[in-house]
Amino acid sequence: MLTVIQLKVLEDNYIYLIHDEVSGETAVVDPALTQPVLDELDKKGWRLTYVLNTHHHWDHVEGNLELKNKTDCKVVAAHADWERVPGIDQGVNDGDAIFLGENKLQVIATPGHTSGHIVYYSADSEALFCGDTLFVMGCGRLFDGTAEQLYQSLQTLKALPPETRVYCAHEYTEANGRFALSIEPDNKQLQDKMLTVRQLRAEQKPTVPSTIELERATNPFFRVDSLSVQQTLGLLGENPVRVFTELRKRKDNW
């Protein structure tokens, strides 16, 4: 079982430290900054084995080179992002795996937000480190990927076990929830979720992680096959990719 530590940095980013107690190996996911990671490693007495990047955007890779220089760790990212991720040592593809001791982190390709986006999934620890592909009650904007790619990527993540914890890279939950309510105002689980979210944010506490089960019930981008979502969009019975595309467009302009 992996230990996960969540570090809040910048305005709304989350960095994750993942540690295997038996081997002593540790990975950091999407280090936007260096010092908070080094401070936490020092506090815990852990050594850094890997930097795991989900995609190439600066607020996910800014700490790569300094961490590599100071800890001698290896930088892992999508092979497709070899030219875009600083310090990369190992390029991975869909279906590959990274191991912390005997703990397997499966690489799943999730293009859409960017063309090279990947996520890391631990079945044993029931944990998904999903970068900017999936957010609590939301998903990433389209940069150099397509709506159809992102729809398919989210379908892949939606199919993971319901108890899987969703460790996304940003605290966007409250705004995402307000948009979700504009699409499904009568969704009781969504209403209840937003009460919890508002309480947590009032206390300056994180709303992350979520679970796949909760996202299936409350995330409109997981719910494009829902009649209530289709009805709001005026796309009852339409192709799910078309519904998703319209939903993403509305969120962009919301």
Annotated catalytic residue 192:
no
CA dist 147 and 192 (Å) reads 29
The DSSP 8-state label assigned to residue 50 in this structure reads E
Annotated catalytic residue 132:
yes
Annotated catalytic residue 124:
no
Annotated catalytic residue 59:
yes
- The answer to whether 16 touches 7, Cβ cutoff 8 Å, is yes
Q: Which residues contact 51 (CB under 8 A, 6 or more apart)?
A: 27, 28, 31, 63, 64, 67, 68, 73, 74, 75, 76, 87
> What residues pair up with 131 in beta bridges, in sequence order?
168
- The answer to whether 57 touches 114, Cβ cutoff 8 Å, is yes
Tokens 């939301």: give the residue. 138
Annotated catalytic residue 79:
no
Catalytic residue among 20, 30, 55, 81: 55
Catalytic residue among 59, 94, 96, 144: 59
Residue type, 112: G
Annotated catalytic residue 57:
yes
> What residues pair up with 91 in beta bridges, in sequence order?
77
Buried b (16+ CB within 10 A) or exposed e, 57-94: bebbbbbbebbbeebebbbbbbbbbeebbbbbeebbee
Catalytic residue among 19, 57, 81, 117: 57
Catalytic residue among 19, 20, 56, 60: 60
**Which residues are part of the catalytic machinery?**
55, 57, 59-60, 113, 132, 170
